[in-house]
Each structure stands twice: as C-alpha cells, then as structure tokens.
A = this chain, B = another copy of it.
Amino acid sequence: MISIPSTGSAERVLISELPACADRPVSVEGWLHRRRTLKTVTFLVLRDRTGLVQAVLREPHASALEHLTEESVLRVSGIVKANRQAPGGIELIEPHVAVLSGSTEPAPFDLYRPTVPATLPTILDHSPVTLRHPRLRAPHVIAAASVAGYRAALDGLGFTEIHTPKIVGSSTESGANVFEVDYFGTRAYLAQSPQFFKQMMVGVFERVYETGPVFRAEPSDTARHLAQYTSLDAELGFIDDHRDVMEVLREAVDGMLSAVRERAQEECELLGARLPEVPARIPEIHFAQAQELLAAHTAQDPRGEPDLAPAHERWLCEWAAREHGSEFLFVTGYPMRKRPFYTHAEPGRPEYSNSFDLLFRGLEIVTGGQRLHKYEDYVAALAERGEGVEAYEGYLQAFRRGMPPHGGFAMGLERWVARLVGAENVRLATLFPRDITRLSP
C-alpha cells in the first residue's frame, strides 16, 4: 500500500481537474491536509494548489497508514468517483498512497480547521507553515491578482515598466526614517520610494510604473506600518493637472479589481471579501471643503490643521458612502506645508496643492499629485525650505533639459489587500513582514 515513488510515474492530475476524470484512474499529489478515522473507514483529505479532495481507505489499508502525519507530501493514485456527500462532490476510491516526503513535526495549529486558532505572533513566527492555511494564504493570491491587474491596466495605457535603484546616495527625499547601508565603506540609504527615478523617467518614457519594495525605518509598531512594503508607483507626463493622474489611478484600481474578480474569486469567497464598485467618476472633495464639513458635523474643528486625522478619514469615507454611494473618495488640495518640495501648488491658492489622497473604506491607500516640472521652480522650492540644489543634482539635471507637466501616485499593496479582505493588521497581507521587532523568518 505504501511505496517509494518511481520517476516517470503516471502524470499528475490537479485536484481541480478531477471532476472531468470521473470513473478513471488518476494520480494526485499534495499535502495530507487532514486524516479522519471513522469506525469502518478512514478519509485522507489531500490538498494541492487547486483545492481539496478526499481519498477513502478501508481496512486493512487504513491501519497500514496510521503513522502518516498531516502535512506529509503524498502521491495518491485511485479511481475518481462522484459522491454527492463528499466535499466537492468527488472522491478517490481504492487509493494507493506513496509518501514523497514525511512531516516530522506538527504544524503550530491544525491547518484544516476553518478558522485560525492562533495569535498574530504565532502565525508570523511560523509563516512558512501557517501560510498553508487556506485563509492565511488567500490574501496573497488576491495580492498577486491585484498587481497583475495593475500592470495590465497601465500597459494598456501606454506605460513602461521600470526597475530603479533601491540603494541611494542621499537621504534627501524625506530625511527621517531611512535605513542606512554600508555601501563599500560609504554611507548609503535604502530608497523610501522610487519618486525621483520615476519622475526622471517621465523624460524618457512619458509614462512609467514600478511595482517593487520600498523601505521605511518606521519606529512605530502599528497595525498599518511596515519597514518594507510593495509600492505600486506610477508617473505620467503631459498632464493638465492632478486630475489627469486621478483618472489614470481610477483605471488602475478598476483593473486591479477586475483581475481579483477573475483570478481570485474563490479566495474572496473564502474570506468573505466584498469587492467594491469603482464609480465611473470617483467623488472628490477639496481639503478645505472637507475641513468645513468636519467642523460642521463632528465634535472637533480641524480647520487650521495641515492634514486629516485617521478619525477624519473614516468620517469622510462614511460621508462619501452616504452622499455618493462610493467606497472610494478623493481628497484633493492638501496644504503645501505638509507635502514634499516637488509638489505643485494649486493655481490661485498657493497654500494648497495639486495633490490628492485616495481614501478607501476609512483609510488612505494612495497618495499622489502633480509635481513641479520647471528647474527654476525646484530651485525656489528648495530655497524656501532652506536647502541648496547640490544634493539633488543627479535628479535636477533632468529638469534643465525640458520636462513636461507631470504627476503620479503610489499605492501600498499590502494596505490595499488588507482593506479588501478586512484584515485588521496589514501583516496578514504581507508574506514575511518586516517591522521594528521582526526580521525573520
């Protein structure tokens, strides 16, 4: 009943393909997800990347497999039989079981239970194993679909994918919270964003995107901050203002959701993830007007503050849902004093900017805006902050050779997925999170 598999054995069939194989002999391969021993019969539930199937063992074969532990890797050969009582309506009978690889230690918790009976640290300490739980695995399938949809949408809009340096020579872009690297004896830094690179590449490709890691030495241990996350960045030239950027972002989000519907439907169902509609035009509200609303309808008066508090973002999202029937809301025009030096001011109201945040289900998931495009504007903007141009020479040289009006945005992939699936901690949407206390596995 147990054998060492030989090379060149019968072609493997995926579990999802079994319904088409009724009454035929097949071999499936996967992990022993669960063994259930009843009085006269033992069920082995096998898991592969496409699903679950049970194999039905009777005596004396069942006893011969008593030592098999869950998570062992098996090849099970048997006859496919329809059985309406079996999970998925199908089962394997007269199975022949070969052990490809044993499991010598139980998982930290039973991976076959529908819910996850473990704390976050246990889940993360053992992620190579706990991610095998269908509920913990699902967000990452949704992440992969989201990124594929993002790229497809931007490819369709004439964007070019770029790969930019993650080690940079100066920490100038935002100063705080950078990781230092020993670069052949020189001090260097991990890039907090591809901002400068994607802008420079507007001069080359007009429209670019990157989907890669960014690094923040974030000292606060919150449910939504990571030391490394995947940033979905885009930048485009020849815009009128930030609204052209917002339109492209709308297309990108729509493409992401289409891909999730197409490629991760089962995972969404498993997690009960409700996918939002993207309105043909996402409602928008100017920062100043948002503050007026908040002052009129909430206990606090935020006017004079340069940014929105988390509670304000939540309130505005509820307002957008109520007033506009949208789970997405653009807040535009954030005050210049809270935005980076390359931000383009609002024409006629220079204390405000041509920038935006996209709020989704109570949280900011994207930041973007129009950038300065004239060299002299950069010189002035840096001077106003008491900075010289020297540290920025590599970047600013592009602006002395003609740069079109441009803008862009950045979305945190893990935050997006966490919102989509309703994960209370962004770490549950990150394969191997890095934070102030966690550097492994």
Q: Which residues of A contact B (CB under 8 A)?
A: 7-8, 12, 14, 29, 31-32, 48-49, 71-73, 100-107, 126-129, 131-132, 137, 140-141, 143-144, 147-148, 151, 155, 158, 160-170, 179-184, 186, 188, 190, 197, 200-201, 203-207, 212-213, 215, 217, 219, 227-228, 230, 238, 240-241, 373-375, 393-395, 397-398, 400-405, 413, 431-432, 434, 436, 439-441
Partner of A200, one of B49, B102, B227, B441: B441
Chain B residues within 8 Å of A72, by CB = 402
How long is the Cα–Cα vector from A212 to B434 in the complex, in angstroms? Answer: 17
Q: A29-B238, A163-B230 are in contact. List 19 more A-B contacts (CB 8 A).
A: A49-B158, A71-B402, A101-B402, A102-B374, A102-B402, A104-B375, A104-B400, A105-B397, A107-B401, A137-B204, A140-B160, A148-B161, A163-B413, A167-B434, A170-B440, A179-B181, A179-B182, A181-B181, A184-B217
Residue with the highest number of chain B CB atoms closer than 10 Å, among A164, A398, A413? A398
Considering the complex, give the chain B residue whose CB is closest to the CB of A137: B204
B144 touches A405 (CB 8 A): no
How long is the Cα–Cα vector from A104 to B200 in the complex, in angstroms? Answer: 16
A188 touches B439 (CB 8 A): yes
A161 touches B179 (CB 8 A): no
How long is the Cα–Cα vector from A388 to B48 in the complex, in angstroms? Answer: 32
Chain B residues within 8 Å of A163, by CB = 143, 213, 230, 413, 431
Partner of A394, one of B71, B155, B440: B440
Chain B residues within 8 Å of A29, by CB = 238, 404
How long is the Cα–Cα vector from A419 to B167 in the complex, in angstroms? Answer: 25
B100 touches A404 (CB 8 A): yes
Partner of A227, one of B167, B215, B393: B167
Residue with the highest number of chain B CB atoms closer than 10 Å, among A72, A230, A373, A400? A400
Chain B nearest CB: distance from A268 CB in Å? 15
How long is the Cα–Cα vector from A374 to B4 in the complex, in angstroms? Answer: 14
Chain B nearest CB: distance from A253 CB in Å? 19
B240 touches A8 (CB 8 A): yes
